[in-house]
Amino acid sequence: MKMIGNTMFITGGGSGIGRALAIAFHTMGNKVIVAGRRRGPLEEMAKAFPGIDFRIIDMRDAQNIVEVADWLVMTHPEVNVLINNAGIMAGDKTGGFMDDDLTVATIETNLLGPMRLTSALIEHLKTRPDAVLANVTSGLAFTPLAHAAVYSATKAALHSWTLSLRYRLRGTSVRVLEVAPPWVQTDLMGARDEPRAMPLQDFIDETLRSFASGSDEVLVERVKALRDNPGPNEWAFVEEFNDRLAY
């Protein structure tokens, strides 16, 4: 993808990977608009990095998503990049009683939210040159973490939907990318100081190089074993992976 001169809308931009990507792209010379649920972190970003704009968004609210998309097109008609990064991750009890509220919140935020926002913006993106739609999935889309089974399933579904989206958008100006992070040191599941997770800045640096490479899948080296696993004999690796990370 083009690395400078874009106008980019990044959801989940107030913290973690979304925040780090927003800062990196802003520093490189792109116009960046971040969106998220919490006003405080977004305001702090806009203050610390003049030129970054922000908007509150509720990825579980279909009407709010449409309203934000309308605002974006009206105030930033040059927008040509959408990064669907917002997501929530929590442990669950698959195999036992499931917290239905948590299950629904995870599915709505991680899967329906990106679908709805893409639907609201796609016709506009088709009018923009060098348009990019990037969905942030996870290495867990390919090798699930049983402790976070619903999260893993939403990312697997988002991966599948991304492939269909790429197919349907052939011949348009919109390039469809998938970013599949490994375990990264962010606040997600309290991993900021987790030594087994990939340092956030290392992930961002390698991810930017992958974006620039022109690949449809934006993968860092650490995630490739998870990405490559699905196949007829995938269960053995899934079992080993979960045994290593057993809680």
Residue 188 included in any domain: yes
Q: What total number of domains does the chain contain?
A: 1
The domain spanning residue 41 has which CATH number? 3.40.50.720
Options 25, 151, 203, 211, the catalytic residue: 151
In the numeric block, the tokens 């709805």 are attached to: 116
- Give me the mean pLDDT over the 96-109 stretch: 97
Q: Give the domain range for residue 153.
A: 7-244
pLDDT tens digits, 10-44: 999 999 999 999 999 999 999 999 999 999 999 99
pLDDT at 247 over 80: no
In a domain, 238, yes or no: yes
In a domain, 145, yes or no: yes
Instruction: State both tokens at 230.
Output: 């699905």
What pLDDT score was predicted for residue 188? 85
**214 domain-assigned:** yes
Question: Is 167 part of the annotated catalytic residue set?
Answer: no
Quote the percentage of the chain above a pLDDT of 90: 91
The structure's pTM equals 0.94
Q: Do the domain assignments include residue 83?
A: yes
Examine residue 1 and state whether it is found in any structural domain, yes or no.
no
Residue 2, domain member (yes or no): no
- Which of 116-120, 143-147, 153-157, 191-195 is the least confident region? 191-195
215 assigned to some structural domain: yes
